[in-house]
Structure 1
Amino acid sequence: MSITKKSKIYSTCLFIFFVIVAIITLLPLALLAVSSLRPGSDLMRYGLNFSIDWANANLNEYKMLFSGANSYFVWYKNSLIITVVQVALALFLSACVGYGFAMYNFKGKNILFLCVLLVMMIPTEVILLPLYRLIVKMGLINNMWGIILPYLVVPMLVFFFRQYLMGIPKDFLDAARVDGCTEYGIFFKIMIPLMKPSFAAMGIYQGMQSWNNFLWPMIVTNSIDKITLPVGLQSLLSPYGNNYDILIAGSCFAIIPILALFVCFQRYFIEGMTAGGVKG
């Protein structure tokens, strides 16, 4: 068998494998979308399935969701604001730290970077109590900044930006210094434009983390108008009755921002993820 024929067979098998993986991945989302169109009584009787009577399909659950009877839009707004602010600050601050590790030599640099790697390995649940006590002392309970502050500098982002910047020749910096550019000018005018793919990749990653964050917002917020969307959706489930139909509709609508983010920046996401692993 020729090498070309073997290559075609391998490519075909790989394509089929990825199609199967894509179908398995999208199946729960399709099930959620179809179930959101079914009447609530039908949903409670038969559960989640693809069997739907399209003649009785309706958008009643979405109408109830947007009617103002609950605080869904308030939760949605809270999540949007927190996600945008947290992602913007985390990207900038983590890029600054990663830039320092990649481009400068200073005493204790390797030890500090090792500490960053060690922090990545610590489960979030381990530090929840000290974080909570710190937020209480700062008076940030039921405050947007109480949710944002613990995620301002993310070790994963610092590590990724450092790896990405290690692949950029330092000749750019030397040439800029010769031309009289300041250190701030080098970072803001030269490095940040070169880091656009990495910003897109990490923006999508951190956006998903922030948008889907449930445990920490649940701990530091207890007011119905301060909670985020994941916590709000969970509040629809109670011992006195479960609004599964509204919960499913709300979950479908909650997917839209992350989906739109990925669709808009998928090219940069792939470029940034591949470039970030070029040099260790």
Structure 2
Amino acid sequence: MKAAKSDRVQRVGLFLLFAILAILALFPFYCLFLGSFKPTTELLRYGLNVKLQPELWSLENYKHLFTAEGSRYWYWYRNSLVLTTLQTVASLFFSAFVGYGLAIYQFKGRNLLFGLVLFTMMIPLEILILPLYKTMIFFRLINTYPGVILPFVVTPFAVFFFRQYALGLPKDLLDAARIDGCTEFGAYFRVMMPLMLPAFGAMAILQALFSWNSLLWPLIVLRTTEMFTLPIGLASLLSPYGNNYMMLMSGAVLSVLPILILFLLFQRAFMAGLTIGAVKG
């Protein structure tokens, strides 16, 4: 009886703790959401605040996105959607390939390669910017989609994650596929890859979030306004020559929707992939 009561108190305490953390995490978005319905003059006077003030609410900020001036916002939105989709799909495909190979196959230098993957995870992106930039100039990929995507087609964290997940895959199924006449690629795509779907779901959200929010590297590679991604475009609305709060507030709110929809679609795979992949070793 005492154990059940203690367990109930513990669960209530954890619920309250996570509820407080959730409120703290959502608080900035709450202020942003309210600010998107307020006029620019109100934002300039008081900034973002928690006051509801429904008498000041209007849809002018959102209507501004559909004007001639706001049309560039949708160019940025399209660029971000295209880049995020291409980079996420390419990263999942190639990173899963590498992680699966490191987990399943025994070959000379395997541990060394995995050590290099772990070492690469420790290197900050800022250190790699100059050599990556020179590489993009050499291949004439400045101000292009491939220039943004190619350096992150295979990411160390994704390789590490897929490798850890693949370590827990049943090897008997792979042996059975070989006996049935499957090639190594056939066994991977037909037998092993379907078993890795939770890992794909989890990493799809993480990779899409990384690509969608990426600012530094696209800012260096992309030159023209028409090629800007959403983070760069929104950042450009704040300048010493004037701040376009109408587009900034409403545009920032709408920028959350793709990642939110993606998480709702893959949340079960996300949780399963993280929990299962975390205990494989």
With normalisation by structure 1, the TM-score equals 0.98
* 2:44 corresponding residue in structure 1: 44
Q: Which amino acid aligns with 1:9?
A: V
Structure 2's unaligned 5+ residue stretches are none
After TM superposition, where is structure 1 displaced by more than 2 Å over at least 4 residues in a row? none
1:150-192 deviation per Cα after TM superposition (whole angstroms, max 9, x unaligned)? 0100110000000000011211111111111111110111111
Mapped pair 1:190 → 2:191: yes
Mapped pair 1:147 → 2:148: yes
* 1:59 corresponding residue in structure 2: 59
**Alpha-carbon distance in structure 1 between the residues aligned to 2:152 and 2:6:** 48
1:14-93 correspondence runs (5 A):
14-70=14-70, 71-93=72-94
Checking the alignment, whether the CA contact within 8 Å between 1:35 and 1:248 is kept in structure 2 is yes
1:1-280 correspondence runs (5 A):
2-70=2-70, 71-280=72-281
State the SS of the aligned residue for 1:75: helix
Checking the alignment, whether the CA contact within 8 Å between 2:64 and 2:246 is kept in structure 1 is no
1:118-150 deviation per Cα after TM superposition (whole angstroms, max 9, x unaligned)? 000000000000000000110011101100000
Q: Which amino acid aligns with 1:3?
A: A
**Alpha-carbon distance in structure 2 between the residues aligned to 1:245 and 1:72:** 12
Alpha-carbon deviation of 1:8?
Answer: 0.8
Alpha-carbon deviation of 1:30?
Answer: 1.0
1:42-63 deviation per Cα after TM superposition (whole angstroms, max 9, x unaligned)? 1111110122431231111111
Structure 1 residues 245, 69: CA separation in 2 closer, same or farther (over 3 Å shift)?
closer
Q: Which amino acid aligns with 1:198?
A: A
Alpha-carbon deviation of 1:68?
Answer: 3.1
Give the number of aligned pairs. Answer: 280
**Alpha-carbon distance in structure 1 between the residues aligned to 2:267 and 2:128:** 33
Checking the alignment, whether the CA contact within 8 Å between 1:38 and 1:52 is kept in structure 2 is no
**Alpha-carbon distance in structure 2 between the residues aligned to 1:227 and 1:37:** 25
Checking the alignment, whether the CA contact within 8 Å between 2:83 and 2:145 is kept in structure 1 is yes
Alpha-carbon deviation of 1:28?
Answer: 0.9
Q: Which amino acid aligns with 2:136?
A: I
Alpha-carbon deviation of 1:227?
Answer: 1.1
Alpha-carbon deviation of 1:65?
Answer: 1.8
**Alpha-carbon distance in structure 2 between the residues aligned to 1:215 and 1:84:** 19
Checking the alignment, whether the CA contact within 8 Å between 1:98 and 1:162 is kept in structure 2 is yes
Q: Which amino acid aligns with 1:106?
A: F
Structure 1's unaligned 5+ residue stretches are none
TM-align CA RMSD: 1.0
Moved more, 120-129 or 24-33: 24-33
Checking the alignment, whether the CA contact within 8 Å between 1:90 and 1:154 is kept in structure 2 is yes
With normalisation by structure 2, the TM-score equals 0.98
Checking the alignment, whether the CA contact within 8 Å between 2:84 and 2:211 is kept in structure 1 is yes
Checking the alignment, whether the CA contact within 8 Å between 1:43 and 1:245 is kept in structure 2 is no
State the SS of the aligned residue for 1:66: coil
